[in-house]
Amino acid sequence: MDDVDRVETISGQLGMPGSKYRLVPKKGKMVFVATVLARNFPSESHLSLEASNVTVSVKGLFVALSSDRTRLTSEEVFSFKGPTQ
């Protein structure tokens, strides 16, 4: 992710189910707290990303194309917080 400056561990082993970490951007102020909900290694992962105004549910699917190439397909569902118009 090109726009992430650093990852800060909050709890758990990074990348493992139940772990939490902070994604700090290079620019801007929208910091996400990521929670790994499930990890079915090596083919799938489920994350929840939370910021002050949005929650993103992420499902990642990994498909091996060869011994040195993998395709990642992700599905994101955005839920915005705050008043609606």
Q: How far is CA 43 from the centre of its chain?
A: 15
Position 84 scores a pLDDT of 63
Position 1 scores a pLDDT of 65
Position 85 scores a pLDDT of 61
Burial class (CB in 10 A: 0-12, 13-18, 19+), 45: buried
Q: Which long-range contacts (CB under 8 A, 24 or more apart) does 36-39 make?
A: 36/12, 39/15
Q: What is the pLDDT along the chain (85 residues), one digit of tens a residue?
A: 688 999 999 999 988 999 999 999 999 889 999 999 999 988 999 999 999 999 999 999 999 999 999 999 999 999 998 876 6
